[in-house]
Amino acid sequence: MINLLVLKETVDSEKRVALVPDEIKKYLDLGFKVTIEKDAGIEAGFLNEDYRKQNADITQNVKKSVRESDIIIKIQKPELNIIKEMKAGTILMGLLSPKKNSSENTFYNKKKISAFALENIPRITRAQDKDVLSSQSNLSGYKAVLDAAHEYSKSFPMMMTAAGTVTPAKVLVLGAGVAGLQAIATAKRLGAIVSAYDVRLAAKEEVESLGAKFIVFDEEVLKKSQTEGGYAKEMSADYKKKQEKALEEAIPENDIIICTALIPNKTAPRLIPKKIIEKMKPESVIVDLAVETGGNAELSEVDKIVKYKGVKIIGYSNYPSRIAGDSSTLFSKNVFNFIKILVDNESKKIKINLEDEIIVKTLISHQGKLMNL
């Protein structure tokens, strides 16, 4: 029997849980024993009793449960005192941020823990149902538009009344990845006029399929701006100058700017300098989903709404946690799909196949060796 433990999140802003009750039966069918730390799901709307009804155990003795577990799952990295309790060979998975957490990496290695950083799951077809970043980004894009609508002093759709016509809001989405595309779709559903910009020309067709206008100013450069993994490359200094000029014209024409532009493992590109914000209309709103990695907007601050010359700049961190119930459900499904490839169908035992691309690219520590750092 494989012992699976789900730990409660300890970061104040983290309301998600790594396993929801509806997914437990899948683990039991694989021969797992499932244990949940007491109140692990309560912030996401899942009670201890909900887990008990699905035949999971609830534990208050966390350190003992950690020592007895074969697989431990968590959204954010565990604390060092928890890592120290893990036995050699324990499998740990979550959003471990390995490039930021060298102390934890050292302990994974020292304790011979097999640690999987789920944010490193490759963008390949076979990994789509395991891709936690995509599922969480989808909800982030949706919630970002709702936050913008809440802070914006006018309506999103056009309205025709006896007193006159209300014009629709104009929304510009910067970055047309998973979060950006969902932001486009949500803004369109709310009745806004939507346009989008991305350095990847490949995003043009997706943007236009959602009924938005795609902004292009250097098509030849854009053809070469995407990595093999589907992410945006860092652009040249010359391109950045052209980009800033184009955005300096486009941004002030819009009422809402949703920033989603990220470069993996690097500081977010600065797309909206202060001088552009100064040209925006009063009551305009910027939502900066990249605020935790430096921000796309110059004046954005983590977990604050900055007001500058009538413009509101929203810098909430951890957007998936702001819609914790659904984020937890999708994360939980992704994790189960990942764990399935670690379990041998015949023996029902854990088997880490180092020839599997998904496993190899996600592992950061295994058998006393650090990887992918």
Residues marked as catalytic:
123, 128, 131, 134, 231
Question: How many Å apart are CA 159 and CA 31, to the nearest integer?
Answer: 57
Q: 86, 66 in Cβ contact below 8 A? A: yes
Helices 132-151, 178-189: axis angle to 10 degrees equals 40
Question: How many Å apart are CA 8 and CA 60, to the nearest integer?
Answer: 11
Per-residue tokens: 222: 């854009």
Q: Which of 272, 102, 290, 67 is nearest to 172 (CA)?
A: 272
Question: How many Å apart are CA 338 and CA 223, to the nearest integer?
Answer: 33
Question: How many Å apart are CA 66 and CA 6, to the nearest integer?
Answer: 9
Q: Which of 172, 148, 130, 179 is nearest to 290 (CA)?
A: 179
Question: How many Å apart are CA 311 and CA 306, to the nearest integer?
Answer: 8
Burial call 236-256: b when 16+ CB within 10 Å, e when fewer? eeebeeebeeebeebbeebbb
- In sequence order, the β-bridge partners of residue 193 are 170
Question: How many Å apart are CA 202 and CA 264, to the nearest integer?
Answer: 18
Question: How many Å apart are CA 151 and CA 161, to the nearest integer?
Answer: 23
